[in-house]
A and B are shown apart, each in its own frame.
Chain A
Amino acid sequence: MSTRNRPLSPHLDVYRLPLLAIMSISHRITGVGLAIGMFALAWWLCAAASGPAEFAVAQAVFGSFLGKLFLFGWTVALFFHLSHGIRHLLWDSGWGFEIPQAYLSAKVALGATVVLTVIAWIIGLA
């Protein structure tokens, strides 16, 4: 029996992931990233509890270029995870399993991520 024409499962390192697969793995990556980001929140609140001098240092760190870059990544990750999480809730309710619906909700989630991130930074920098 010839084995040449068997369908092969895609090798992840040579296979260009479709949008829906990228959305799926990004949900996990942003989730893990946000969990690690909780240490930064803990440090910020700890500084606030320690006193005005410590809090001023923490605020200066988050207000620096690298701090802002971290916070920007954090807001993108949060809003992506939030928007994509709503897709998961829709799937759990039984909606959106057809391919066109899945692509539509993926694009809406990506659009919502951009819009919410921009709004958050308008508020933050205002």
Chain B
Amino acid sequence: MTTLRSPIGRARGLGSAKSGMGHHWSTIVSAVGLIPLSLWFVVSIARLAGADHAVFTAWIAKGPNAALLILTIGLTCYHASLGLSMVIEDYVTCKAKKFAALLATRLIAALLAVGMSVSILKVAIGG
């Protein structure tokens, strides 16, 4: 089997794209998951237009809604973090700024995912 990869690249399991394959695969997996979840999310949110707190609490406490909402938010933050990293890597050339932007992207994505999940659980269980 012929290959275009260098022997050292093959030995390390890394081609010229380094961890690019894993990054791309993670983007695909989260994207596929988000197709049904984002459609469910938009329909749910649209039906909650103008709802008061009691209606919202009842909706979030019902069936799988809290779990699906947390899953949607977790996958979205993960997918957004992967996508923004790619944009930063493409357009930010200064190494220090690139490092700071990549770090901030991951931390803010984690913060938003955890923050929103806690808010959802507070409404669903404690509300």
Contacts and interface: CB of A to CB of B under 8 A. Distances in A.
Contacts of B80: 31, 34-35, 38
Contacts, number: 84
Interface residues of B, number: 37
Given A38-B112, A78-B38, A82-B38, A49 B123 contact: yes
A75 B28 CA distance: 21
Contact of A123 (B34, B43, B56, B127): B43
A42 B28 contact: no
Contacts of B118: 49
Interface stretch (B10-18, B46-54, B92-100): B46-54
B103 to A, nearest CB: 16
B100 to A, nearest CB: 17
28 contacts: A28-B87, A31-B84, A31-B87, A32-B87, A35-B80, A35-B84, A38-B77, A42-B116, A42-B119, A45-B116, A45-B119, A46-B115, A48-B57, A48-B119, A48-B123, A49-B123, A52-B52, A56-B52, A59-B52, A63-B49, A78-B42, A82-B39, A85-B35, A88-B31, A89-B32, A120-B42, A120-B43, A124-B45
